[in-house]
Structure 1
Amino acid sequence: MTPTRFGHFIAIDWSGAAGERHKGIALALATRGTAAPQIVRPGHRWSREEVLCYLRDELPDDTLVGMDLGISLPFVDRDSFFPGWSQSPATARELWALIDTICANEPHLGVSALVDHPDLSGYFRRHGGREGEHFGGGQGRFRATEVAQRRLGCKPYSNFNLVGAAQVGKSSLSGMRLLHRLGNRASVWPVDGLPAKGPVICEIYTTIAAMAAGRTASRSKMRSAAEVDEALVALGSTPSGLSGSLDDHTCDALVTAAWLRNAAHDPRLWHPRELSDEIARTEGWTFGAL
């Protein structure tokens, strides 16, 4: 098996915001070759359930999907997701199942029931100055892949942190509900390894794609077609054909889909030197972080 088996590349800018439909969700699709990625359902305001249905029902078998979220929580630093809690799960897939079970009655793949859970709220930093006794202080706990992200110049947040404009905690937790509900429809790298066939989902960090396109981490956000086209050309793609201002979610999705098309064929990115079997099955990894 070789990663060159992929022929469709989807980048998803995700959102954990409250409610049903979100301007922060954008999907872009690239195919083999150099044609510019295309926004999936342009002008549509996606719900998280619609993204779930799209991934479940509409993916060709040769699709690689990158989702801009954390696919798990820190584990290896304390040998547990929730140290001191007797029911703490042992693997990422068990974590996803736990989250979805606790939040089963919450609509729109929401996760408030988890972060307010009497046994688990103490592991999170929540709004209103509520820092749980197990949060860890400072910036909180980080996964091994987030340490690797920092070496690249990125500034990741702990997935236990739910406060601040740049936090990704709630979006990651809602994404874990989606991954659980997908079941066996798609494999998740590296949790499930890299199978020889079928769609594969991986975690992405759009800043890594922007940096590959020549931008700095501090200038990774783009908000115009001109900026997107400059990045696309740097990634070997034709221009988008769009014009004027664009929201940063659309820009992130387009550029990251073009990057994913290139990166999927780089064997080094599938074998980060620090990615052990334990990390793969518990914390996962960010594709592109070395």
Structure 2
Amino acid sequence: MDTPTHELMSALASMFDSGKYADLTIVTANTSYPVHRALLASRSSFFEGICNNAFRESETGVIDLSQDDPEAVEHMVHYFYHLDYLNKPLSRRSSQRSARSTSPRTPCFPTRRRSKKSKLALIEDPLLAMLSAATPAPSVPRMEQPDDQDILDVSAKLPDTPMQDQFTDDPFEYVYNTEPKADVEQTHLVTHAKVYAIAEKYGIVGLKSLSRKKFSDQIQTHLDSEELPEACQEAYESTVDTDRGLRDIIIQAFRSNPGLSSRKDVEVILRETPGLAFELFRMASGLPVTS
């Protein structure tokens, strides 16, 4: 991500964190979010309709979403200002640090400890380093070799480990160690299904596409998750039959992994979710899933 983009994203994050210039409030069952109507109206057909027409919400400045899942609303609002969700918010400090780390004057090296000599060789001008490497080393007068006893005496006085002053911290270590790390272990299949549903409900095309991708990526790596059956049920119960965004992903997962149907927890969900059970029956029978 280039510097102008970081600057824009940092500004949006700052607007959300501070609530400055907010002219709408989204209210859920347990919290409220000061938001900006210009931003929401440009990203959502639902919010655009509210802002452009004489609805009560437009007059009062309060949009009541208390009937929606609070977690899904939270991720939706987060997406408006960060273009993502379930990630670490971008702060102005991290934006400046990222821009500094990608500057052509600041080389990026992996985080590890180096000796002083090797660090100076890396930080100095590359052309000077090349010239230095190509220049023959000056001749050094041959010194008288010590005898074996002298070598043993000196070796006995040296510590077993390198001396502390031979090493120092990498000047770029702070840049790497403070960057957020992706959470690849935890499963969020149900959350992605809920976010997909709320994105469809409020006409947020980008969020719907993003949640579908996240759901697809996780269902491939978390087939054994205890959350999988609930996520399948959530996807089928929160979307209409004609919305194939998540349903096709689920059917393909069962088609590629026939053993899923024999899981006890999956069997319980199939009994409670007729739409999924019917489509899996048609798939097993070699019939088209959708007519």
Structure 1 and Structure 2 fold alike (TM over 0.5): no
Higher relative contact order (CA 8 A, sep 6+): 1
Higher share of residues assigned strand: 1
Shorter-chain TM band: under 0.3
- Structure with max Cα Rg: 2
